[in-house]
Amino acid sequence: MIAQIPLLLLGLLIAVMGVINMTGNINSLHSYHRHRVKEEDRLPFGRMVGGGTLTVGVGVIVFSVLMMIYHATEAEALVWIATAVLLVCIVIGLVLSFWGMIKYNKGIF
């Protein structure tokens, strides 16, 4: 159970970074993205990429909480549910982030 605490803290950190990006502050992103995105597109770009980052962070948080519950109850189904939630959140988060990069940055790199 204690082993899940660093994962929970990582999820919280990722979620906070997503919220910061959603406010239009994209300083945590690579300089390539900061220079290529137009000033008027910073807020929508930050919302899209930040939404993806927030989704990944929430997935990591839910995964770590469900794994803590699993270690307390030994309910095997929680492992499958936690893994499914994490994978779905990662895929959705990456799609949102890449979509925002392609839309407002005209490419991922």
On the question of pLDDT at 74 being above 80, the answer is yes
pLDDT confidence of residue 106: 79
On the question of pLDDT at 1 being above 80, the answer is no
- Give pLDDT tens digits for 90-102: 999 999 999 988 9
Give the range of the structural domain holding residue 37, as residue numbers without chain letter.
Answer: 2-105
Rounded mean pLDDT of 38-61? Answer: 93
Residue 109: pLDDT band with limits 50, 70, 90 = low
Domain count along the chain:
1
Mean confidence (pLDDT) of the chain: 91
Question: In sequence order, what DSSP letters do the residues of the chain get, joined into one string?
Answer: -GGGHHHHHHHHHHHHHHHHHHTT--TTS-HHHHHHS-GGGHHHHHHHHHHHHHHHHHHHHHHHHHHHHHHHH--THHHHHHHHHHHHHHHHHHHHHHHHHHHHHSS--
